[in-house]
């Protein structure tokens, strides 16, 4: 009788313990990633991102390169569980919002870091793709690709 009670208790507490560990590990990893993003954004020079296809500037161009930055960021197990519950009742899926924000900022930083000498990034674009986990319609990961033409002027 006592062993049955212990087994039933373990069947309840073990999944809750795993979810709790997932929550704290995921929050810690997200906080660390955001700290890295903030530090790298602060150290980046202020180079304009232009969505126009042409540049109306008379300065001679010394170099023009296609630059890209891509990242795949996955959602942690706790957020996946919380978003499954959120799908039942509806509302904003805030867990996915932070996932997409981190992925966009990381892809943009990687693109800028691929050509730090640029004076302007021309024809800037960002593409988003959701990678599904295979179960239902909940996304497992988000892939974001940022790309542009990096221009370095001759006089800089």
DSSP character string of 66-94: EEEEEEEEE--HHHHHHHHHHHHH-S--H
User: Considering Cα of 114, then 120, then 125, then 129, what sign does the dihedral take?
Assistant: positive
Integer angstrom CA distances of residue 36 from 41, 42, 104: 9, 10, 14
For residue 47, the SS3 value is coil
User: What is the per-residue pLDDT for 135?
Assistant: 61
Cα separation, 47 vs 137, in Å, equals: 38
Closest CA to 110 of 58, 140, 138, 72: 72
pLDDT at 15 over 60: yes
- Sorting pLDDT into bands at 50, 70 and 90, what band is 36? very high
Choose the most confident range, by mean pLDDT, from 49-58, 80-89, 102-111.
102-111
pLDDT at 88 over 90: no
CATH code (residue 137): 3.30.110.70
Integer angstrom CA distances of residue 1 from 6, 11, 14, 25: 9, 15, 20, 36
User: 93 versus 137: which is more confidently predicted?
Assistant: 93
User: What pLDDT, in 10s, does the model give residues 103-146?
Assistant: 999 999 999 999 999 999 999 999 998 876 656 565 678 899 99
User: What is the per-residue pLDDT for 66?
Assistant: 97
* Residue 93 CA from chain centroid, whole number: 15
Residue 58 has φ and ψ, to the nearest 5°, of -85, -5
Both structure tokens of 121: 């990034």
User: What is the per-residue pLDDT for 8?
Assistant: 65
Domain that holds residue 69: 2-153
Q: How many domains does the chain have?
A: 1
Q: Rounded to the nearest 10 degrees, how much is the dihedral formed by the CA atoms of 73, 122, 66, 112?
A: -50
């Amino acid at each position: 009788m006592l062993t049955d009670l212990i087994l039933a208790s373990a069947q309840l507490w073990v999944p809750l313990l795993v979810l709790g560990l997932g929550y704290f590990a995921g929050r810690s990893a997200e906080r660390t990633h955001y700290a890295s993003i903030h530090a790298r954004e602060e150290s980046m020079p202020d180079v304009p991102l232009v969505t126009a296809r042409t540049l109306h500037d008379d300065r001679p161009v010394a170099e023009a390169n296609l630059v890209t930055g891509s990242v795949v960021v996955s959602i942690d197990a706790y957020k996946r569980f919380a978003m499954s519950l959120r799908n039942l009742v509806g509302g904003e899926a805030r867990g996915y919002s932070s996932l997409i924000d981190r992925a966009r900022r990381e892809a943009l930083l990687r693109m800028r870091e691929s050509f730090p000498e640029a004076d302007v990034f021309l024809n800037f674009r960002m593409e988003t793709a959701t990678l599904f986990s295979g179960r239902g319609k909940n996304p497992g990961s988000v892939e974001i690709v940022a790309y542009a033409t990096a221009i370095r002027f001759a006089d800089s």
